[in-house]
């Protein structure tokens, strides 16, 4: 069973991609709604929350962990790999590989939470893979709460995005990494604002491909014939109506959200 966690509903964009690519693979999700957002918190706190989330998934049968949160991926991956005795996947490396491969002019923008941007990990990994790149990063701390609230198409969300994305105006980026798993839910607004010539990197599908490649080649997880995504389990640390509404919307079906 694949265990996936995020600070809230954003990681469901990753779970959705994993379900689509690996429908016969049982999946267990934990959204830490009670403590969202992670981005403004310290690395130490995000690390502690991540360990607790991983432990919940392991206790409930996960054999592989996916950190479907860039904030946690940037500050807690090493500790999780050290303390969990099972494979731990993060979402930053796949996004970096995709961005580096797809950018033509090497000018790559990254948007993410404060924790992710302040960690400097995207910049470091992009420069390691392609040293002639220019990386322009911008923290967009308000976006996670707007998505958790379901404000995906509100005027206020558009205004805030305009303000954040104007930062990239004079940088001629041709690629923008959505360095937060909540942001793919704002793809249309972001694309409209940043312009169609800038390609957006949503790493969810790449993460799913990564899992498929690694798990199948190592034989870590075999598909379970007869399993279907409807049997996957979706937990949250606080069962709210808003989270339920968002889960149904993200998966485009009725999800039976459970209290962790
Ligand atoms: N989806 C998480 C991420 O990718 C959001 C973190 C937060 O709660 O701030 O960073």
Instruction: Report pLDDT digits (tens) over 11-46.
Output: 999 999 999 999 999 999 999 999 999 999 999 999
- 14, 57, 100, 180: the catalytic one is 180
pLDDT digits (tens, 9 = 90+) for 231-252: 999 999 999 999 999 999 999 9
What's the distance, CA 40 to chain centroid?
Answer: 16
pLDDT value, residue 165:
98
What is d(CA 226, CA 135) in angstroms, rounded to the nearest whole number? 45
Domain residue spans in the chain? 2-90+205-259, 92-203
How many angstroms separate the alpha carbon of residue 103 from the centre of ligand 1?
A: 24
User: The domain at 92-203 falls in which architecture?
Assistant: 3-Layer(aba) Sandwich (3.40)
Residues 112, 46 contacting (CB under 8 angstroms) = no
Instruction: Give the C-alpha distances (Å, rounded to integers) separating 105 from 175, 176, 202.
Output: 9, 12, 19
Residue-averaged pLDDT of the chain: 95
How many angstroms separate the alpha carbon of residue 138 from the centre of ligand 1?
A: 14
pLDDT value, residue 214:
83
Q: What is the pTM of this model?
A: 0.94
Counting ligand 1 atoms within 8 A of each CB, the residue from 68, 144, 146, 184 with the most, and so the one to mutate, is: 144
- Report the top-level CATH class of 2-90+205-259: alpha beta
E-only strand ranges, 190-250 = 199-201, 233-236
Q: In the β-sheet with 88-89, what is the strand arrangement from edge to edge?
A: 88-89, 64-67, 2-6, 27-31, 233-236, 258-259
User: Residue 114: which pLDDT band, with cuts at 50, 70 and 90?
Assistant: very high
**% of residues, the chain, pLDDT over 90:** 92
For residue 219, pLDDT beyond 80: no
pLDDT digits (tens, 9 = 90+) for 186-215: 999 999 999 999 999 998 988 999 898 888
- Pairing status of strand 233-236 against strand 199-201: unpaired
């Amino acid at each position: 069973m694949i265990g996936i966690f995020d600070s809230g509903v954003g990681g469901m964009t990753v779970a959705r991609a994993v379900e689509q690519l690996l429908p016969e693979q049982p999946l267990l999700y934990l959204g830490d709604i009670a403590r969202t957002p992670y981005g403004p918190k310290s690395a130490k706190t995000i690390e502690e929350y991540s360990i607790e989330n991983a432990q919940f998934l392991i206790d409930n049968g996960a054999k592989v962990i996916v950190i479907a949160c860039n904030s946690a991926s940037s500050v807690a991956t090493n500790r999780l790999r050290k303390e969990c005795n099972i494979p731990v996947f993060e979402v930053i490396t796949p996004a970096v590989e995709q961005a580096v491969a797809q950018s033509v002019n090497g000018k790559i923008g990254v948007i993410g939470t404060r924790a992710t941007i302040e960690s400097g990990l995207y910049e470091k990994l992009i420069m390691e893979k392609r040293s002639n790149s220019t990386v322009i990063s911008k923290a967009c701390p308000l976006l996670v709460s707007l998505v958790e609230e379901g404000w995906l198409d509100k005027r206020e969300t558009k205004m805030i995005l305009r303000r954040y994305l104007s930062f990239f105006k004079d940088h001629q980026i041709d690629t923008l990494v959505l360095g937060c798993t909540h942001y793919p839910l704002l793809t249309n607004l972001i694309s409209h604002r940043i312009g169609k010539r800038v390609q957006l990197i949503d790493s969810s599908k790449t993460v799913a491909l990564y899992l498929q490649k690694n798990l199948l080649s190592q034989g870590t997880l075999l598909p379970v014939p007869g399993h279907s995504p409807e049997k996957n389990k979706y937990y949250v640390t606080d069962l709210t109506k808003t989270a339920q509404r968002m889960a149904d919307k993200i998966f485009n079906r009725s999800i039976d959200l459970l209290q962790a």
